Every structure is written in structure tokens, then in C-alpha cells.
Structure 1
Amino acid sequence: MPTQPLPLRPGADRPCDTAPVLSGRLLVGGPALMPRFGDDVWNIGVAGFAGNRYASEFLIDFKSLGHPVRREAAREFLFWRLNTRPGRGPLPSISTVAAEWWNLRCFFRFLDTEHEGLRLDAVTQPTLDSYLAHCRSDGLLPSSLRHRLQVLSRLHFAAQSVVTDALVINPWNGRPLTRVIGVEPTRKHENETPRIPPNVIGPLVQAALFYIRTAAKDIINARAELTELEASVEDIHGLSLDRLEHYLHGLADEGRGVPVVDGVGRQVHLAGAPAYTYVMRKSGAGRGIAGGVYDERIDRALELLGPEPGGMDTPIAPHPQTGLLWRDRFSPAAVPHEERLLRTACYILIAYLSGMRDSEVKELRDGCHFTERSADGVVVRHKVRSQLVKGGRGTAESWVVIGPVAEAIDVLRQLPHRDALFSRPVTRDRYSTITANRMNENLNKFRAHCTRIGFHVPDVDGEPWNLTTRQFRRTVAWHIAHRPYGTVAGMIQYKHLSVAMFEGYAGTSASGFRAEVAAEEAMARLADIVERYEDFKAGVRSSAPGSTRIDNEFARVREELQDFPGRVVDERRLHAMLRTSANTLHVGTLNDCYYQPETALCRTVGGTDQPMLNNCRPDRCGNSTITPRHRNGWESARGDTERALAFVGLSDLQRTALREHLDDVTKVIEGIDRAND
């Protein structure tokens, strides 16, 4: 490999060293922060708008590439990526380019170690095949493997702009990477993020609410006590046995034990041993372990008084379920441990009950929560301000949220933080943000911790459920679409949640949450129509006026697909043929409505694409179908009517109306039975 970059190809233009790298992008700071083409380090994070990422992830350090040819080729490629729109789409996000910088270095490292520093313009298809095998040997998942290889295609697209050393060959002759890797392409608009199972999200939210409403006050008070103790240490000079004796006598008078290490943090191996440093500092006898007569006095007191795990003074609240204290007294090491759990609990409530993205949750800052009254002055709405983050672009917007989200934000405000509520102060840096990867780790630690505080989270298929930040938005969208009247954590209604989230910005197209719910509803309707088609094939028939139309539709589909016993049909084709019917399906307790405005009894004038459910006449409408799955609902209606008829004091008109309704309900039940004899 040559020791210096080759001369530019004829007609190629290299950007000048002073050319701005992020032209046309909104910067977080002033223009002085704009990186220039000739800089050895580009901080593209000044246009990143991603509070859920480490700042170092957006630093592109060309000096990390040992060879000047590699440095120049990477510089030219990344400049092209940051300033070139793919087709008619927007510029690639800062996060995307930062990830490509990592993937580019991986490819360069492979060429340097496995192919003796081969230049890009000398790469052949066998070289790329060997790189694919090399990446497979790392055990990457198909999605990660595809992202690792995408940079190769983009290097080829940028060949005319990378003047120092370009990838001339078209990787795999332009074949889609899904075929190269050997996986089925993802169906368009299909969300692959797993949903958190109901038996996991229920106790998880309950535990988070417990931390917000019960544990938070104790943790905040413990932090205040610890801060006061740390400040008082500065005033301790020398050693004082009298102060130690006074402190130990005070413990005896209060009926307390001697503080011992509680096993939290790095001192697990010392659990149960006297907390010598804490006792010395708390008593004012010294700044740390003194040894000798001081340790002997503490040991003797431990024998007389017994141990007290933790040893701090902050009172502990009773657990609302048991009436017992929810934990032992705090130790200095336990305070940051519990703060981390409390921040995670706040994250769970905010992410799940607001529908905000991970990056948007972590952009919450001081003063983000406010309230507004409705126009009539009756309803108080909770709102939060944050950055709408999508594609690396930040826009200030607001979300309507419910009470528990506001409570979580208020707790975060009282925890040690910088401007961003999810950033905690550290001694070595201005602040340290809980990043996406760290939050995933914290979420799973919180899930494991739930059982210890009385909220058991069961395993799924024999394994603990692996939580990630992406799952909360997907899960709440699914629950709102599939179980609009269900509950979570015992008290929170999904219907109430959906109304609040749709009322404000979170339901608009820019946030995308309403679109996600709509996509989930479409998938639910398709699943329902497929299930009803399978029932039709099994001989289940519906009653009510609309049954003929849908049964004829199912018969047509079955005939066209030749979907008879012993024959396997194309599932995608079946779904495509049933999707039209699914688009008009509205599932109900007493019937299913295959809505058509022209035959809808619920409307008297005009027509739209939605039925008026309050005016539904399920036993008479031409859009209605009633199947055996609805029988329980009708049986319940018959029982309610019979109990109402038993009331004493009904007027003749009321009794007549109830008898007529009972006759109608009975006819529906008999119709269900006749259709499926």
C-alpha cells in the first residue's frame, strides 16, 4: 500500500479544508462549533439532538486510522454522506452517519489485518465474500449483519466523490443484502419490535408506581442526608474517641444496632462487617478507618448492640401491600443504587404511559412539565415539553400525558441531575447521561429487582423477559389498538390513556404514535378476519342480516384459492384477499360490523368510514354479523334483562319495553344456535 494518498483523479474535486461539514443542518450551539473538512476530529454531535447517546459516539477521529490513505478516503466518504440526499429523501441522520463511521472502521480493520492493507479500488468480490464470512463468525444477528454490510454499498455509490481511494466494484452486483445474507425481507410497515407480555408489563408498572409513590420520598431524603454527611466530613480534623463514644451511646439509647455493610455496591464481600468508615464519619470521630482502639470500640459495641444494616438515619416507609418496611435502612452505597432504580422506574412510566420515543424521553429537561385547563376550565391537562427526535432532527414540541407521568417527572426533578432530567452529575465530567444501552441494562436490573419488593415478574417461555427501550412504545400502541378498554397496573385504563395521548401532540403525524396505533389496529383487524375465515372453513356460520354478505365473500376467497382440505394455500395471498374486508371490520362484544355507510342503520344522513357505535342495532343492521363467539355477550344481556324485569315498581311501559327487548335478545341467541346446528 502506498505511503501517501494518490493524486486526485482527473476532474474530481476535493472539498477545501475549510468547507463546513454540516451545511444546512440546525446546530445545537453556534456556528463556531461547525466542524470543517480538514479537521482531524469532527464533532457531528453538534447537530445530533440525541440525549440518549454518549457524546463520544458522535466524535469522528480520523487520527484513529493509522494510514493517511484510509484517513482521506474516510473523510471524503463521510463528507459525501453528510451532504448528499439519497434520491428525494432527507439528508441521513447524524446517528446513521456515526454508525457508518464505526462500520467503515470495521471494514478497514479487516482489510488491514486479513488482506495486508488492500486498497479499496483493489477490492474484489471474493474479498467481500471473505468479509461476509468474517462478520458471520462474529455471531452478528441478521439485522446487525445487514447494517455492517450496508456501508459497502454506500462506499460504491460514493465512488465518484471519494477521490483518494474508492470502492469501484458494486458489492454482490447490487443484489439486496437480505438475499446476500440469506434472510427473508421484512414486510413493509411490519414492526419487528417485540411486545412486552401483559403478565410482565403489569407488575413492572406496579413496581414503578411503588417506587414513585412510596420509595421516592425515602430515597430523596437519604440523598439529602448523605449530602449533608459528605459536607460535614470536610470539617473533621484529626481523631476523637469521645465523639465515637458519644455516637455509640446514642445508638444504645435509641435501641439501634451498629451500622454494618449491607452488601450493596462494591462491598458485597464485606456484607455484615462493621461499616468502620461510615461510623467514624457519622460520629465525627474521623474521616476514615482509624484502626487500633477505634476499631476495637466499634467491634465491642457491635457485640453488645447487634448489627443494623445500612445505618443511616432516614426513616423507611411501610410497604403498602404488607405494612412492613420496604427495605432496611440506607447505607451510603445504597443511596446511588436506589437512585438508579428510581430513575429507571421513572423511565418506565414516562416511556410506557406517554408513547414518547427513547430519545424524546431522555431529552426531558427542567421545567418540561406544565398544566393547562380546558376551554371550559374544568379539565386540567398535564403536558410535557421535549425534543421531537426523528431522523436526527430535533424540534421542540409538547405531549399530553396522564398523572403518573407528571409524578415521575416531579421525582426526577428532585434527584441529582444537570439540565437533562436523566443525566446525573459525576465528579469527572460535566454530566453522565443514561444512554440507550445503559438504560436497557438498568431496565433488566429493575425487572429482576421487582420480585424483591413484592411485584413478581414471571419468566416467559422459561426465560426472564429481556426488556429494551423500544418495547414500551410498541406495547402501549398494541394494547390501545387491541384492548382499548383494558387496564394496566390495576387502575390505569388504556382507553383513558389513549384519549390523553391522542388529544395532544403525541397523536399527530409528526410524532407518529397515532400512525403506530393505526398500524396495530390494521394488523388486529386482519388477524380477526383471518380467524373468522378459518371458522367459516370449519363450518361456523354467522347470523344477523349481514351474515350473507360476509359468508359469500369467504366462499369466493376459498373458491379462488382452492382452499380445501389437503391443500396448502399461499398465506400472503390469502391475507391480501381478506385485507379489504378487514379494513371495514369493527369487532364488538355483541356483533362484528363489516361497515358500509349505505346499509348502516346507525346513520341517518350521509356516511363516513366509521360506524356510530352508540346507535348500533346489531340484530337488524345489514352490516352486522353474529357468531357463536358473541353468544356469551347475548346471554349476559338476557340475564340482565330478566333481572331488571324482577324489579318491583316498574311501570307498565317499562315492563313492556323490557319484555320486547328480552324477546329480541332471545331470538338472536336462537338464531346463533340455528345457524350452527
Structure 2
Amino acid sequence: MSGRPLVGAPSVMPRFADDVWNLGVAGFAGNRYPSEFLIDFKSLRLSVRREAAREFLFWRLNTRPVRGPLPSISTVASEWWNLRCFFRFLDTEHGGLRLDAVTQPVLDAYLAHCRGEGLLTSGLRQRLQVLPRLHLAAPALTTDALIVSPWNGRPLTRVIGTDPRRERENTTPRIPPKVIGPLVQAALFYVRTVAEDIINARVELAELETAVEDIHGLSIHRLERYLDGLAHEGRGVPAVDEFGRQARLAGSPAYTYVMRKSGAGPAVAGGLYDKRIDQALERLGPEPGGMDTPITPHPQTGLPWRARFSPAAVPYEERLLRTACYILVAYLSGMRDSEVKELRDGCHYTERSADGVVVRHKVRSRLVKGGRGVAENWVVIEPVAEAIAVLERLPHREALFCRPVSRDRYSTVTANRMNENLNAFRAHCTHIGFPVPDVDGEPWNLTTRQFRRTVAWHIAHRPYGTVAGMIQYKHLSVAMFEGYAGTSASGFRAEVAAEEALARLADVVERYEDFKAGVRSSSPGGARTDNEFGRVQEELQDFPGRVVDERRLHAMLKTSARTLHVGTLNDCYYQPETALCRTAGGPDQPMLNNCRPDRCGNSTITTRHRPGWEAARGDTERALAFVGLSDLQRTALRQHLHDINKVIEGVDHANN
């Protein structure tokens, strides 16, 4: 595995002749199961298959493509699975046919076989990608090699029958605003209000587990002293936890807890002990949970946000808290799932700006895309820093999301497990006062990949929107683009740019549809825009009764989309040579503070902008009614009101 940084000792690096390769020694995907990096050649029945697979994977690990870096360890591990699928097809459907005897009809049959499995387009392409790579590796395969060039070298996108342009679009669904809003609010509630209670409950539970180890024998006096203490404090006997388990019968979890908490014994004793607990239950009544950790009041109700903790509730609430931290970090930083899972102790730090005024929150992690495992920094906002501080106080080892599954064993929260946690947290939001509404009658299915896509979409489409509380997307974009998350290596800026391009194209299509419906622009640049839309309509023959090719329409409007800047008072189809806002040597983009929408040749004003001008007219009229204005101020306001009325009259005239 030349040219790859290692995460393990070189001594454990697999050797070529080994029956099992553990590629995890060079794997940087903290969101993957360790077993996904195991290559077990013994799983192939025929020796010729094992040797061919060994040579192919060695070639993939050590041969740099003509363009681009070495494939990631995750990619090679996935290719092992796809290679096994192809070998299994040859063994079961073609009697163990060797690679050097495979013909194009056999490959066509394999394509039909994969289609029959119901794979999505992306999955089908990934399944077949191993075939052209097998052919490229043929000179390096001495045992058996694929001689025929699959589909004569045609791109798989054409073989499968998909549009390559459409395949480049991000198909990850965006989380709807009505879902992401309460979800982030609930996550903030857990991190800022609930976290301290859960951490304190964990400390109490750890102290109890330590104390149990020192309990020897039984003591009725300790039990009675504990029960008398509950009565003195006005509390009940631990009997029912939030999972609905009753403790009226001896041997229940609550009875065991009472014995351990009181120091009367390590487990249920029966006889006199059960009788004393039963008598206390009748006298004091039950208390859900039973642990001593105080519960913070809910800001919305002033009541405790939950009943007292039980031992079973502590790891359950820890799981919800860890998930809440994940939501804040993933959504408010723009980091990938694999990069979030690489966060470790001490990853958060702060820096002041050059003038010493602004404090920037930063986190260190690893850029995992492509399997490089390169250490990088991200600029984040305060809620992300708060979530990381909470994660550092939760039980973990190495990575912050490496959670304990027993006293001495830890496990990384993989992507699939985190998806389960996310949906469990979404369902739990209702119980803590932040209900997440259904979408189309069904609960929204959350996945780890949706957060980065969603925040990129909102920054591009709703830059001045608010996600929860005082968190604004504009503030998010400034922080993300200032730091590493906005650079080309991370790819987040590119994702936002792609979303912005799609948003501008959608806006241009809307304005084209307005044009077809008879809406015309009244501003200096309106005639140019109307002429352009008219040319597109004429070329496509896009008239009532005809159906036009949507892809061709979008292709013709893309030029306008690249220069469109949508505004409240006008739309700017920016061209530097006619822009009134641009100064000599200034940036090659609109300067919004200098915009003259009623005079600039780039400006178009239609009926969709009329409400903005009417609001401006109302503001000006109210300003004129102020008694203390000077003559100069009153003259300027009257001229401004005259200009506004002129624009509104022009819009009405153009569309009547």
C-alpha cells in the first residue's frame, strides 16, 4: 500500500500471500465498521478466483490512475464486494467460466442479472465499475484476466441508459424546513439544558456501580435507613421507570436498585427484604426512576423536563444526547459524516481576529474524502463548540463518537447506527416539547448525508433565513467559508455553488414562465431580457398546445442563470459594461449597496417586484409626514417618492 498514510503499526500491514487482508490499517473512515475493511480470500471457492482477486486488489491499491489519486481504502473494499458478486455470477450461471473466456454476451447477461436485483441507478453503476477496471488491470494479472473490453469501452452511464448530466446532480434529499427547525431546537435543548443532568446521572450511576463492589452480605438495617430517608425527603420508593416496568413483584430491576442503593445487598434478597420494600411502597407510593440526580425545569413549562433517572435511563439518554450533539455538529459545520466521526479530545480551540475583536471557534478533524486522512481545520459557530464540549464529558475513547457498549468495550457509531439514532431522536422530540411534523403523512427518514446537503441548499436559497432561535444561515455561511469548510478540498463551497446555480436556473425558468404568461418588464434592462426570452420561445416553438424538451429549455436559459441576481426591488442580469453600480477596478459582480434599480441597464422590474416598491412608497410617505424635516430633506424625499411612483406606473403600464 505504497504512498498511503497508516493509522496502524506497519507490522500489522497485510502481506500479499495472506489469506485475509485487513485494510483498516490504512483506512480513515471512522463511520465504517472495522469488518468492512476485511478481505477474506478464503470466501472464494476456486483457487483461480482467489489468485485473480489478490492480484487485482494489489494492483488497485498500488497503481495510480492516469488522472487523480490512488483509490481510497473504502473504494477498494467496496470493489472487493463487487468483484465477488461478478465471480459468483460466473460460478453459478456459467459453470465457473474463467475471466479470459468471458465474452461481451456474458457481460450483457451480467448487466441483466444486476438489473433483476432491483438496484438503483447509482448502485448498478457501482456494481459494474469493477468490470472496466478488471480489464485495465489485465496486464498485471498473471493467473486469470479479463481480456474483452467491457462494452467496447463505452461509458457505463450510456450502457445503463442514464443521462450523465442528470447523474451529476445531488440526489440526496433535503430535510424540509418544518423538520429541521424543531430538530435543531430539540438538539440545542439537549446540549444547553439537559446535558448537565445526564452527565450528573452518569456520575451517580458510576459511583453506585463502584459502591456495589464493596457490598458484602446483607443488611436489613441499611435498607430500613434508606427507606426512612426517602420518607423524610417526601419521596416515593423507586418502582416504575420510564420504560413502563413495574416493580411490584420481587426480582424486578427496581427492587435490585433499591437493594444496591441502600447498601443492603448486591441483588434481590427476598423474604424480609421484599416485605420491607412492599410495606414502604404502600406507605410512600412509587417514584419513577428513583435516582437522586435533580432534574432541570423545562424552559417552556417550568416543570422538570423528565422524571427522575433510573439506571436503565442513563445510557438511553446518553444516546439521545450524543445524537443531539451530532445533529448540531453535522448541520452547523457542513462537515461530512466521516469527518464528524473523526473528532477527538481537544479538537475545539479558539482564535482571535487580527484586531483582537472577533473570537473564532475552530475544530480539528480529518478530511476523509478519498481516504486521505489529512488533518484539517474548520471554522464553526458557538453551538458546535458547545456540542463538542458536551461530547468530551461523555464516556468515550479516542474519537468522541466512540461510545461505550460495556464497561471495558467501546464501539464507533457507524453511519447506519447513527441513522437509527437520528430517527429515534426525531421521534423523541415530541416528548420534550419540540414535535417534528410528518411529511406527506409519514415521519421523515433522517440520514447522516442529508445534513450537509440541506445546509448547503438553505445557504444558497435562503441566505437570510433562520434555522432555530437566533441561528441564521448568513452567519453560518460566513463562518464556514472563512475556514477550511469553504475550501475546494472539503468541497462544501462547491456544493453551495452548485445549489446556487440550480436556484438561479429555477428563478430564470420562473421569469420565463412569467414572460410566456404576458408579464413584461418596465425597467431599462427589461427590453433586453424580454427579447432574450422571446428568442428562446421562438426557437423552441414554446407556444400553447406544444410540449417542449425541458432539458433543452434549461440549457438555453443557463446563460441567463449564470448572471442573474434576484432582489426585492428588481432582478439584475449582470453585465459589467452596463452596470451603474460597478466602479473602475471594482469587483466583477454587482455592488448591491450602489444599486440603482430604476436606472441601470442590467435591471428588470416586473409585477413580482411591485410589492417591494409599494412598501418603499409607504415608508417614504410616512417619512414625509414627520414634522421636523428640513426643506432639503423634504425635497429629497419628494423626489424619491416621484421616482418610486414612476417605477410603479411603468410596471402597471407594461402589463396592461
Counting aligned pairs with the same residue, the percent is: 84
2:509 is matched with which residue?
530
2:135 is matched with which residue?
156
1:401 is matched with which residue?
380
- Structure 1 residues 174, 616: CA separation in 2 closer, same or farther (over 3 Å shift)? same
Which segments of 5 or more consecutive residues in structure 1 lack a partner in the other structure?
A: 1-21
Shift of 1:59: 1.8
Distance 2:443 2:248 in 1: 30
Which residue identity does 1:254 align to in structure 2? Answer: E
Conserved? CA contact 2:240–2:286, under 8 Å:
no
Conserved? CA contact 1:598–1:607, under 8 Å:
no
Which residue identity does 1:675 align to in structure 2? Answer: A
- Structure 1 residues 317, 63: CA separation in 2 closer, same or farther (over 3 Å shift)? same
Which of these residues, 600, 618, 623, is aligned with residue 639 of structure 1? 618
**Corresponding position: 1:451 with 2:434:** no
Distance 1:272 1:421 in 2: 40
2:353 is matched with which residue?
374
Which of these residues, 285, 288, 291, is aligned with residue 306 of structure 1? 285
SS of corresponding position for 2:360: strand
- Structure 1 residues 178, 296: CA separation in 2 closer, same or farther (over 3 Å shift)? farther
Shift of 1:134: 4.7
Distance 2:412 2:176 in 1: 29
Which of these residues, 547, 557, 562, is aligned with residue 526 of structure 2? 547
**Corresponding position: 1:657 with 2:639:** no
**Which digits, 9 at most, give the CA deviation of each residue in 1:525-584, with x for residues without a partner?**
111111101111110001111101111111111122222122222222211111111111
1:17 is matched with which residue?
none
**Which digits, 9 at most, give the CA deviation of each residue in 1:237-277, with x for residues without a partner?**
1111211111112111111111124254xxx6658865111
Conserved? CA contact 1:62–1:71, under 8 Å:
yes
**Corresponding position: 1:614 with 2:578:** no
**Corresponding position: 1:648 with 2:606:** no
Q: Which residues of 2 match residues 617-632 of structure 1 at below 5 A? A: 617-632=596-611
TM score, norm. by length of structure 1: 0.92
- Structure 1 residues 228, 609: CA separation in 2 closer, same or farther (over 3 Å shift)? same
**Corresponding position: 1:90 with 2:60:** no
Distance 2:94 2:534 in 1: 62
Conserved? CA contact 1:478–1:520, under 8 Å:
yes
Shift of 1:606: 3.6
Q: Which residues of 2 match residues 55-454 of structure 1 at below 5 A? A: 55-113=34-92, 115-124=94-103, 127-128=106-107, 131-187=110-166, 189-264=168-243, 275-427=254-406, 431-454=410-433
Distance 1:648 1:167 in 2: 89
1:11 is matched with which residue?
none
Conserved? CA contact 2:248–2:278, under 8 Å:
no
Conserved? CA contact 1:369–1:406, under 8 Å:
yes
Shift of 1:659: 1.4
**Corresponding position: 1:587 with 2:587:** no
SS of corresponding position for 1:187: helix
- Structure 1 residues 170, 541: CA separation in 2 closer, same or farther (over 3 Å shift)? same
Distance 2:639 2:545 in 1: 48
Deviates more, 1:361-370 or 1:558-567: 558-567
**Which digits, 9 at most, give the CA deviation of each residue in 1:49-100, with x for residues without a partner?**
1111122211212233344322212111111111223332221111101111
1:502 is matched with which residue?
481
Shift of 1:430: 5.2
- Structure 1 residues 126, 245: CA separation in 2 closer, same or farther (over 3 Å shift)? farther
Which residue identity does 1:537 align to in structure 2? Answer: K
Conserved? CA contact 2:330–2:340, under 8 Å:
yes
Deviates more, 1:26-35 or 1:623-632: 26-35
Shift of 1:135: 4.0
Distance 1:532 1:379 in 2: 41
SS of corresponding position for 1:60: strand
1:467 is matched with which residue?
446
Which residue identity does 1:473 align to in structure 2? Answer: R
Distance 2:553 2:248 in 1: 65
SS of corresponding position for 2:139: coil
Conserved? CA contact 2:242–2:289, under 8 Å:
no
1:520 is matched with which residue?
499
Distance 1:324 1:126 in 2: 71
Which residue identity does 1:561 align to in structure 2? Answer: L
Distance 1:365 1:226 in 2: 25
Which segments of 5 or more consecutive residues in structure 2 lack a partner in the other structure?
A: none
**Which digits, 9 at most, give the CA deviation of each residue in 1:269-299, with x for residues without a partner?**
6588651111111111111122233223222
TM score, norm. by length of structure 2: 0.95
1:19 is matched with which residue?
none
Distance 1:115 1:541 in 2: 66
> How many residues get paired?
653
Distance 2:590 2:192 in 1: 41
Distance 1:294 1:138 in 2: 61
SS of corresponding position for 1:397: strand
SS of corresponding position for 1:400: strand
- Structure 1 residues 262, 140: CA separation in 2 closer, same or farther (over 3 Å shift)? farther
Conserved? CA contact 1:316–1:325, under 8 Å:
yes
**Which digits, 9 at most, give the CA deviation of each residue in 1:111-132, with x for residues without a partner?**
4455554443444556545544
SS of corresponding position for 2:373: strand
**Which digits, 9 at most, give the CA deviation of each residue in 1:22-69, with x for residues without a partner?**
011122234333322112222222222111112221121223334432
Distance 2:225 2:93 in 1: 70
Which of these residues, 454, 460, 464, is aligned with residue 485 of structure 1? 464
**Corresponding position: 1:676 with 2:649:** no
- Structure 1 residues 262, 139: CA separation in 2 closer, same or farther (over 3 Å shift)? farther
Distance 1:138 1:447 in 2: 32
Conserved? CA contact 2:624–2:637, under 8 Å:
yes
Which residue identity does 2:492 align to in structure 1? Answer: F
SS of corresponding position for 2:166: coil
Distance 1:295 1:145 in 2: 62
1:18 is matched with which residue?
none
2:557 is matched with which residue?
578
Which of these residues, 46, 62, 81, is aligned with residue 25 of structure 2? 46
Conserved? CA contact 1:262–1:272, under 8 Å:
no
Distance 1:537 1:34 in 2: 66
Distance 1:325 1:269 in 2: 21
Distance 1:246 1:477 in 2: 59
Distance 1:120 1:141 in 2: 26
SS of corresponding position for 1:424: strand
Which residue identity does 1:244 align to in structure 2? Answer: L
2:547 is matched with which residue?
568
SS of corresponding position for 1:391: helix
**Which digits, 9 at most, give the CA deviation of each residue in 1:200-247, with x for residues without a partner?**
110110010000011111111111111111111100111112111111
1:603 is matched with which residue?
582
Provide the alpha-carbon RMSD of the alignment.
2.0
Shift of 1:402: 0.6
